[in-house]
A and B are shown apart, each in its own frame.
Chain A
Amino acid sequence: MAMSPRTLLVRFSCAAALSLIFGLASGSLALAPTELWQALLGNDEGVAAEVLWQLRLPRVLAAFACGGLLALSGLLLQVLLRNPLADPYVLGVSGGAAVGALLAMLFGAGLVVTQVSSFAGACLVIVAVFGFGFRCGERNIYRLLLTGVVISAGCGAIISMLLTLAQGEQIRGMLFWLMGDLSHSQGLPFAWLVLLMAGLCATIVASVLDVLAVGSDKAAALGVAVIRWQIGLYFVTAVLTVTAVQLGGSIGFVGLIVPHAVRLLGISAHRWLVPLSMLLGGSFLVLADTLARMLWSPLQLPVGVLTTLMGVPVLLWLLSRRQR
């Protein structure tokens, strides 16, 4: 018997809180619950408080926002492309964002131009994926994935080229951008704002998403102005992906695994899928990032490596199941 969406919402919220506490407490300096509590209350002025407020809290908040953004962008991309296997990383949207950003950096652009350029890159890739992967009908998911793979490969080549062309200090900045580093997240308040706004809007228009997910013909027949919604979804997905990429670099498969897991729990209505995916995505990335910090401490694994290593077998499993 599937759990009711409300129960799931409560549980996922608890899981999110626990993951945040786990992220705050774990690390090379382990904090006992009482220490953590004291430091959080501001009763501690020592190293613990320093570590907590300066390092860990921004980091777990960045990880949570990034995970939520990726899960939501994956979910919306799945509605847009009518394909449950769509993911911003797999389809090359993250790659497009990176190419845009690196290109701007190569020309010495500032932060804002870099962001805009990265947004343009992501948009371009979505349009390309949609244009090429969609022409022969909505039903062919393999063609869509293939288009994404090809575009990802292209983006990879361009990234290598840009890295070769860049010099000294530029390369450092670029690599930083590419690897993603949740500990140096500058746009944290902005990312949270984007996440909460997008999550709220997506929940409000959830019934439209439900209809769009069934197919554009059906959606039009049921009274949805399909083209307008699709264009809107393009932009929102691109903004979400770019914001996530700016926080944590190219982190793969969160947008694929998380909504899928929620669906496996028997949730299909988007008014539940949206908040549940955001909560699960956030918790998942906080856990993954904490693990990435701890596994080879003091070395820190890029969190994208971890999520991709988890995501690849899941995607392969889903594809093999689909074949039958």
Chain B
Amino acid sequence: MRVANDSALEARALSVQMGERVVCRGLDVLIRPGECWGVLGQNGMGKTTLLRTLAGLHTPQSGGVSWDGLALEDYARRDLAQRVAILTQSEGVEFYGSVQEYVLLGRFPHRTLLFGYSAEDEQLARQSMAQMELTELAGRPHSKLSGGERQRAAVAQMLTQRAQCYLLDEPLQHLDLRHQAKVMRVLGQLREEACALVMVLHDTLWAQRYCDHVLMLLPDGQVLQGGADELLTRTHLEALYQCHLREVSVDGERCFVAGV
């Protein structure tokens, strides 16, 4: 494994609130390069808010988040964006340009030219588009894409950012099975390249396969953290989702499906 950096994303005594809802209180978490964290929880538990806080887009009630030992708010936004990338849930804002132009926006924090983007930037954008199987759609207007294609374009844009830490809010939303696997494989590669990953997931199977650590936002406001093997058990998951789960085994791989 190539160790590109030893910078870590660290939350200390982090208390996050969204309106009335307390997302977490006094959370300490250290996300090291090459680690992949899954964030699990029921709808409305504040997974997105937590992720936005980790990206410096949401101000916590108390405590703070730091990258490489320096508090996020002490970074210039551009410097931070070169290091930490976030994939937000569908943006709902129309983009008028082509898919390629959309993906190229990921180079914004790195751009060196006053006008437009360099040939290297464009090359990186093409690479990410190829990874997300978007090459043939490169010239298509972004507004004409389907939901799944938009999601792939958003992932490609984030990949183009070439950050060291990636925060992903439901990276698999709108994706068919083939592209779910594709995205997870690409994210797995990022981990191999010693990037730190935090992803909000709903499918415990993907968490099992790709995450080494798990953060569970429990319904009672508690946050559980630990190794994926230790937390992704039926007991914990049933407490997390407050529903009956069945455990099945396919080719020796455990899966959980909701019982009816």
Judge whether A268 is part of the interface by a CB distance below 8 angstroms: yes
Number of A-B contacts (CB under 8 A): 79
Q: Does A218 contact B (CB under 8 A)?
A: yes
Q: Are B77 and A224 in contact (CB under 8 A)?
A: yes
A222 CB-CB contact with B under 8 Å: yes
Chain B residues positioned under 8 Å from A84 (CB to CB): 94, 96
Query: Which positions 82-138 of chain A face chain B at CB distance < 8 Å?
Result: 82, 84, 138
Separation in Å of the A129 CB from the closest CB of chain B? 18
> Is A217 a contact of B92 with CB atoms below 8 Å?
no
Q: Are B109 and A222 in contact (CB under 8 A)?
A: yes
Q: Which residues of B contact A207 (CB under 8 A)?
A: 108, 111, 115-117
Would you call A218 and B91 a contact (CB within 8 A)?
A: yes
- In the complex, residue of chain B having the shortest beta-carbon distance to the beta carbon of A218: B91
Contacts A217-B57, A268-B97, A269-B101 given; indicate if A223 touches B78 (C-beta within 8 A): yes
Residues of B near any A CB (own CB < 8 A): 52, 55, 57, 76-82, 85-86, 88, 91-98, 101, 105-106, 108-109, 111, 114-117, 161
Which of these binds chain B: A160-168, A181-189, A192-200, A208-216? A208-216
Question: Are B114 and A210 in contact, with the CB atoms below 8 A?
Answer: no
**What CA separation (Å) do A139 and B89 show in the bound complex?**
14
| Highest count of chain B CB atoms <10 Å: which of A84, A207, A213, A224 | A207
Verify A271–B108 contact, CB threshold 8 A. no
Q: How far is the CB of A73 from chain B (nearest CB, A)?
A: 19
Q: How far is the CA of A220 from the CA of B88 in the complex (A)?
A: 11
In the complex where A139-B92, A210-B105 touch, is A221 in contact with B115 (Cβ < 8 A)? no
Taking a contact as CB atoms under 8 Å apart, the answer to whether B115 and A271 are in contact is yes
- Residue of B77, B98, B111, B115 with highest tally of chain A CB at under 10 A: B77
Residues of A within 8 A of B (CB): 82, 84, 138-139, 204, 206-207, 210-211, 213-215, 217-218, 220-226, 263, 268-269, 271
A-B contact pairs, 29 of them (CB 8 A): A138-B92, A138-B93, A139-B93, A206-B115, A207-B108, A210-B97, A210-B108, A213-B93, A214-B91, A214-B105, A215-B92, A215-B93, A217-B88, A218-B88, A221-B55, A221-B57, A221-B85, A221-B86, A222-B106, A222-B108, A222-B161, A223-B77, A223-B78, A223-B81, A223-B82, A225-B76, A263-B96, A268-B98, A269-B101
Contacts of B98 in A (CB 8 A): 268
**Docked-complex contact A225 and B77, CB < 8 angstroms:** yes
4 closest cross-chain pairs (CB), A and B: A223-B81, A268-B97, A223-B78, A223-B109
Chain A residue nearest to B87 (CB atoms) is A221
Which listed residue (B76, B91, B105, B114) contacts A211, Cβ 8 A? B105
Chain A residues with CB below 8 A from B115, complex form:
204, 206-207, 271
Contacts of A225 in B (CB 8 A): 76-77
Q: Using Cβ atoms and an 8 Å threshold, which residues of chain A touch B105?
A: 210-211, 214, 218, 222
B91 with A215: CB separation less than 8 A: yes
Cα A84 to Cα B79 in complex, Å, equals 30
A215: chain B residues at CB < 8 Å are 91-93
Measured CB to CB, the closest approach of chain A to B53, in angstroms, equals 13
Would you give the shortest CB distance from B233 to chain A, in whole angstroms?
34
Inter-chain contacts of B82 with A (CB < 8 A)? 223
